[in-house]
Amino acid sequence: MSRIATGICAAVAIAAGGYWLSLSNSSSPSYPLVSSAEAQEADLDTSSVVDMVQGAKDAPVEIIEYASYTCPHCATFHTGAYKQLKKDFIDTGKVKFTYREVYFDRIGLWASMVARCAGPEKFFGISDLIYKGQSEWTRAGGPAEIVDELRKIGRLAGIDNDQLEACLQDGTRAQTLVAWYQENAERDGIQATPSFIVNGKKVDNQSYGDFKKLIEAELGS
């Protein structure tokens, strides 16, 4: 089974039918957020999940990235090549860039819920912080310690505690995000992260030099 397929199964079990870790600072055990039957009967409107987009809406090149906040290769891309991509193509109106999350595990889902907590305006800034600190927050200890580190990132981005807790404890939102992710991954045939779709064509992760040539070819440069 591919890592993507494994992630789909694990995230669905965690967010939809399995057990949800209490995200409070107490040492209380896991508790069931919803039963499997309730999850199956839930009316999840995945159209409510907003795509996170940068760049001109009418840019000649559209790039969709599929990435996981717990993926080291994704962190490498976002702390390196992405910065250059943004400078060269996104900020200049040549590329419309859409970021879509992949959930390998529950902590990646929690990171996504924090990144989305303050809406599209802060999403990419929070994502930058999450990727920059990936090696620290993913290794903070158990789930409670990891969530505490994600809370710190959220507060650093200006989200207050009440809003953070509301986002992290929103079980319906978690289920909806997982369903949205599964739809996207199955539709676009995503098998690894980071993966990219450039003007409708799937491409694998590559050096920025090669990626730049690919974009320039699409631009007719």
Cβ contact 15:38 at 8 Å: no
Tokens of 179: 């369903």
pLDDT of residue 1 exceeding 60, the answer is no
pLDDT at 27: 34
pLDDT tens digit sequence for 156-183: 999 999 999 999 999 889 999 999 999 9
pLDDT at 221: 64
pLDDT tens digit sequence for 29-50: 332 233 333 444 456 889 999 9
Question: pLDDT band for position 155 (50/70/90)?
Answer: very high
Q: Hey, what CATH class is 3-219 in? A: alpha beta
Percentage of residues of the chain with pLDDT beyond 70: 80
Q: Where are the domains of the chain?
A: 3-219
pLDDT at 42: 58
Comparing 19-23, 26-30, 45-49, 93-97, the range with the smallest average pLDDT is: 26-30
pTM of the complete model: 0.83
pLDDT at 191: 86
Q: What is the mean pLDDT of residues 13-26?
A: 37
* Separation of CA 64 from chain center: 12
CA 88 vs CA 22, 81, 82, 208, 215: distances in Å: 43, 11, 10, 11, 10
**Angle 174-180-185 from CA coordinates, rounded to 5°:** 125
The continuous run of DSSP H or E covering 37 comes out as helix 36-41
Residue 95 to residue 86: CA distance in whole angstroms: 9
pLDDT at 7: 52
pLDDT of residue 20 exceeding 80, the answer is no
pLDDT of residue 14 exceeding 70, the answer is no
Percentage of residues of the chain with pLDDT beyond 90: 71
Question: pLDDT band for position 59 (50/70/90)?
Answer: very high
The pLDDT mean for the chain works out to: 84
